[in-house]
Amino acid sequence: MTETLFTNAKLADGSLKDIGVAGGRIVSIAPAGAASDTASMVDIAGALLVPAFVEGHIHLDTSFYGDKWIAHKPCTNGFDVHERVAFQAENMAGAAPMAERARNQLELCVSNGSLQMRSHVMVDGSVGLKSLETILAVREAYRDIIDIQLVAFPQSGILKSPGTPELLDEAIAMGADLVGGLDPASFDRDVQGHLDVVFGVAGKHGVGVDIHLHDFGTLGAFTVEEICARTVALGMQGKVAISHAYGLGNLDPDAARRIGAKIAAAGVSIMTNAPGDHAFPPVALLRGEGVNVFAGSDNIRDSWWPYGDGDMLGRAMMIGYRSGFYTDEELSAAFDVVTAAGAKALGLEGYGIAVGAKADFVTLAAAHVPEAVVALPKGRRVFRAGRLVAENEAMVR
């Protein structure tokens, strides 16, 4: 039996529908005006209704959003992961409590329409399991509002950080959902040794993998190929993601297509946030080869850069802008990157606007998806399991 009827909702195909919800799921989709009016009714008033956005890559433990402003400190000689990690440690020492900062960032994302998230959380010899313990508690407190996957992320390396392999193992046992990694070649300087630990822990616990890969050019491309080979050899297709993969943006088109075909065959997803000062994966080319490309905010006002607003629709616009997407088809592809492609990468069940799907959706003041991507309409309503949780970019208390 329908509990709530959402009337006059415009779907992505332009049709006007009434959507019935019961038990947190969509139970009916009918032409507007055709459904029964016996249920509690919410008038969508012709607004575009889309699935909640997927925040596919974020760092809940390291953002300073809502805290005091921390001026960005540039690297001394070009981008250097080691140096940025050191700056982060300095800044974190004087920051507000992690739980407070994580809640601020979570609510920012929810208020903009994200109800599914994957966050990387530091787990290594420098912090142990303290950050994970804090973020696990925050996740529990928000479980009725947003679904959060946590990646045990060895920010200080694995082989270079004593005790980290054991900590990653313990992190998964504690409740982390995936095993992370960081630049196996340039940071730990041992691709096979690094991947042995990452895939070994993942295989032991039957979980997925999401590896940060910042290396440029052929070194980055080589590491991508090694991750793909390991994925296929272990039968982990569909359970592995590579975040950033800057090296794919340095390749000539023919080389990018060849490696794209390998990535697609391995069932590995690629995450990008289209960073402003780096090459990034060629989204259209990779999608053309069958690669699942998804997106995330990555850093929001932290030690890596001062930008970030938690708006995945804005991230779709940024990806489209930097990729030279102009046609309606291309703009719709950018939207897919922050919705359906993210759901695929995260292995989400019941995602989308369909009978049987979870009633997690967002309303947008736009005529259609391409307009939403370029206009970034405000005044959104965000529904979780059919219940209003945010409106006008603020949480509903």
Check whether 170 has a pLDDT greater than 80: yes
Q: What does the pLDDT look like over 211-235, one tens digit per residue? A: 999 999 999 999 999 999 999 999 9
User: What is the pTM (predicted TM-score) of this model?
Assistant: 0.96
C-alpha separations of 280 from 177, 243, 260 in Å: 26, 10, 14
Of 90-99, 272-281, 356-365, where does the model show the most confidence? 356-365
How many C-beta atoms surround the C-beta of residue 31 within 10 A? 10
Q: What does the pLDDT look like over 173-198, one tens digit per residue? A: 999 999 999 999 999 999 999 999 99
Domain with CATH 2.30.40.10 in the chain: 4-51+351-395
How many C-beta atoms surround the C-beta of residue 257 within 10 A? 15
How many C-beta atoms surround the C-beta of residue 368 within 10 A? 17
How many Cα neighbours within 13 Å face the side chain of 243?
Answer: 27
Partnered with residue 170 across adjacent β-strands are none
Distance, CA of 135 to CA of 34 (rounded, Å): 45
- Residue 85 confidence class, pLDDT cut points 50, 70, 90: confident
The answer to whether the beta carbons of residues 270 and 263 sit under 8 Å apart is yes
Q: What does the pLDDT look like over 22-76, one tens digit per residue? A: 999 999 999 999 866 667 999 999 999 999 999 999 999 998 898 889 888 888 8
Mean of per-residue pLDDT scores for the chain: 95
Residue closest to 181 by CA, chosen among 134, 115, 226, 117: 226
Beta strands in 154-286 (DSSP E): 178-182, 208-213, 240-244, 268-272
The answer to whether the beta carbons of residues 53 and 339 sit under 8 Å apart is yes
Better-predicted residue by pLDDT, 340 or 79: 340
Q: What is the dotted CATH code of the domain comprising 4-51+351-395?
A: 2.30.40.10
Close Cβ partners of 319 (under 8 Å, ≥ 6 residues apart): 272, 273, 274, 283, 295, 325, 334, 337, 338
The answer to whether the beta carbons of residues 299 and 315 sit under 8 Å apart is no
Domain with CATH 3.20.20.140 in the chain: 53-346
The answer to whether the beta carbons of residues 70 and 111 sit under 8 Å apart is no
pLDDT value of position 95: 83
Q: For the chain, what percent of residues have pLDDT higher than 90?
A: 86
Close Cβ partners of 93 (under 8 Å, ≥ 6 residues apart): none
Domain 53-346 CATH (choose: 3.20.10.10, 1.10.10.10, 3.20.20.140, 2.60.120.20): 3.20.20.140
- Residue 277 confidence class, pLDDT cut points 50, 70, 90: confident
Sign of the torsion formed by the C-alpha atoms of 356, 107, 272 and 123: negative
The answer to whether the beta carbons of residues 248 and 270 sit under 8 Å apart is yes
Residue appearing with tokens 């359970």: 239
How many Cα neighbours within 13 Å face the side chain of 138?
Answer: 24
- Residue 210 confidence class, pLDDT cut points 50, 70, 90: very high
Distance, CA of 23 to CA of 38 (rounded, Å): 16
